[in-house]
């Protein structure tokens, strides 16, 4: 069975991927600097002899003993709050880390999958976003550290494919949510849910008319694994096209948690995209994939997760 390296394997998406790969029979090495990931995300996998967690920063020279069949490169801060706090590290992991991971894939003859992002489309002038759209990114803006690193990562991945014949895949991940997001990561749903559960006001940024389209993590993982095992080389959007305004999302969280919290307004962060919705025609066509979990169901599971963390906190865990 395949032996697979997941960089960022102790992060939100990485940990779900490790779990899914193990259940499909892979041996899995999760490599993570634990900067934004957490060992507790893979705590339930540690006893599995086919799983290993390596504490390592992939911007350094990468060495893995033995054969490798697949590399999924997911290491990176991914929340705007995180990458604004770690701008240089974000650029380094997206650029140097991707270079190291590609070099390792080439040395091992492994298939390489890059975690790219809807942020390559920037503040999009085409809506919904298709893979053929080249984007509207401010290269010197505060979000540029993430967007441009991911764009560079895509360019480097395609260069390794073209110049070295490396088997590569690129997934453009749209907003994803679910258990194991970090409560304090600053993204919209962890913020809203934790604010709601604590009875604090929900902080909407700007006039909250900006939109996002949120995909439940299990759907995303299914799409990524289909892409990994398929033969399609160009980027594929994976996300849920069910678009909602941020105000609409705040109202849904209030209703789903039953909180008495109010909604308060905070300034809109710089270069915050006004709209975002994936066109998933390509994923449907080449992967036969589409999301299945409606937001009402995914929100319920995510709220239960954050509620259980608070119960643990209350017990002093
Ligand atoms: N947002 C908000 N309140 C929050 C956190 C985020 O209104 O407490 C908004 C943010 O301005 C953006 C959207 O929610 O328009 C999604 O933000 P997030 O940080 O989750 O990710 P992004 O899609 O911007 O990368």
Asked, for residue 262, whether it belongs to a domain, the answer is: no
Asked, for residue 287, whether it belongs to a domain, the answer is: no
The number of folded domains in the chain is: 1
Distance 166 CA to ligand 1 centre (A): 36
Instruction: Compute CA distances 54 → 33, 38, 39, 276, whole Å.
Output: 8, 12, 10, 35
Ligand 1 pocket test: which of 188, 201, 214, 243 has the largest number of ligand atoms within 8 Å of its C-beta? 188
Distance 230 CA to ligand 1 centre (A): 32
Residue located via tokens 């995209």: 273
pLDDT at 313: 78
Distance 163 CA to ligand 1 centre (A): 38
Asked, for residue 91, whether it belongs to a domain, the answer is: yes
Structure tokens at 19: 């779990």
Asked, for residue 182, whether it belongs to a domain, the answer is: no
pLDDT at 120: 98
Distance 183 CA to ligand 1 centre (A): 14
Nearest CA to ligand 1 atom 17: 188
Q: What range defines the domain where residue 142 resides?
A: 3-175+217-238
Check pLDDT > 70 for residue 179: yes
pLDDT at 12: 98
CATH code, domain carrying 133:
3.40.50.720
Ligand 1 pocket test: which of 184, 187, 191 has the largest number of ligand atoms within 8 Å of its C-beta? 187
What is the β-pairing status of strands 211-213 and 243-245? antiparallel
**Chain mean pLDDT for the chain:** 97
Distance 162 CA to ligand 1 centre (A): 36
Q: Averaged over 290-302, what is the pLDDT?
A: 98
Structure tokens at 247: 């105000």
Nearest CA to ligand 1 atom 6: 188
Q: Averaged over 163-183, what is the pLDDT?
A: 98
**pLDDT tier, 317 (very low <50, low <70, confident <90, very high otherwise):** low
Structure tokens at 18: 């490790």
Separation of alpha carbons 21 and 243, rounded Å: 29
Per residue in 88-142, pLDDT tens?
999 999 999 999 999 999 999 999 999 999 999 999 999 999 999 999 999 999 9
pLDDT at 312: 80
Q: 160 an active-site residue?
A: no
Distance 195 CA to ligand 1 centre (A): 14
Which atom of ligand 1 is least distant from the CA of 205?
7
Separation of alpha carbons 71 and 105, rounded Å: 7
Ligand 1 pocket test: which of 117, 246, 269 has the largest number of ligand atoms within 8 Å of its C-beta? 246
Among residues 83, 146, 160, 177, the one annotated as catalytic is 146
pLDDT at 311: 85
Asked, for residue 200, whether it belongs to a domain, the answer is: no
pLDDT at 47: 97
Cβ neighbors of 90 (< 8 A, separation 6 or more) are 76, 77, 82, 83, 145, 146, 149
pLDDT at 307: 97
Asked, for residue 151, whether it belongs to a domain, the answer is: yes
Q: Which residues line ligand 1 (CB under 6 A)?
A: 79-80, 175, 186-188, 191, 203-205, 208, 210, 212, 246, 268-269, 272
Per residue in 203-250, pLDDT tens?
999 999 999 999 999 999 999 999 999 999 999 999 999 999 999 999
Check pLDDT > 90 for residue 23: yes
Check pLDDT > 90 for residue 181: yes
Nearest CA to ligand 1 atom 13: 188
Which atom of ligand 1 is least distant from the CA of 210?
15
Separation of alpha carbons 38 and 91, rounded Å: 21
Check pLDDT > 80 for residue 36: yes
pLDDT at 314: 73
Torsion-angle region of 57 (φ positive above 0: left; ψ -120 to 50: alpha; else: beta): beta
Cβ proximity of 109 and 239 under 8 Å: no
Check pLDDT > 70 for residue 316: no
Nearest CA to ligand 1 atom 19: 187
Check pLDDT > 90 for residue 54: yes
Asked, for residue 112, whether it belongs to a domain, the answer is: yes
Asked, for residue 199, whether it belongs to a domain, the answer is: no
């Amino acid at each position: 069975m395949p032996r697979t390296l997941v960089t960022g394997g102790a992060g939100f998406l990485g940990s779900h991927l490790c779990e899914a790969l193990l259940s499909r029979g892979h041996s899995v090495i999760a490599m993570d600097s634990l900067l934004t990931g957490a060992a507790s995300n893979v705590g339930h996998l540690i006893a599995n002899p086919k799983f290993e967690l390596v504490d390592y920063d992939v911007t350094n020279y990468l060495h893995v003993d033995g054969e490798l069949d697949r590399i999924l490169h997911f290491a990176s801060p991914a929340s705007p709050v995180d990458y604004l706090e770690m701008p240089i590290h974000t650029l380094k992991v997206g650029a140097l880390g991707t270079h190291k991971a590609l070099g390792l894939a080439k040395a091992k003859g492994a298939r390489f999958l890059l975690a790219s992002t809807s942020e390559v489309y920037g503040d999009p002038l085409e809506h919904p976003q298709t893979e053929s759209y080249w984007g509207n990114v401010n290269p010197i803006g505060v979000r540029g550290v993430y967007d441009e690193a991911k764009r560079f990562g895509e360019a480097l991945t395609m260069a390794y494919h073209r110049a070295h014949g490396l088997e590569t895949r690129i997934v453009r991940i749209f907003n994803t949510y679910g258990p194991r997001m970090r409560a304090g990561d600053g993204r919209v749903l962890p913020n809203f849910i934790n604010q709601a559960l604590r009875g604090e006001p929900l902080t909407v940024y700007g006039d909250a008319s900006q939109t996002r389209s949120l995909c439940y993590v299990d759907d995303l993982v299914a799409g990524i694994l289909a892409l990994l095992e398929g033969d399609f080389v160009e980027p594929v959007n994976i996300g849920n096209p069910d678009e909602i305004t941020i105000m609409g999302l705040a109202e849904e969280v209030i209703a789903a948690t039953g909180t008495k919290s109010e909604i308060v307004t905070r300034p809109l962060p710089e270069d915050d995209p006004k709209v975002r919705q994936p066109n998933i025609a390509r994923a449907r066509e080449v992967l036969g994939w589409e999301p299945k979990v409606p937001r009402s169901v995914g929100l319920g599971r995510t709220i239960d997760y954050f509620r259980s963390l608070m119960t643990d906190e209350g017990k002093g865990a």
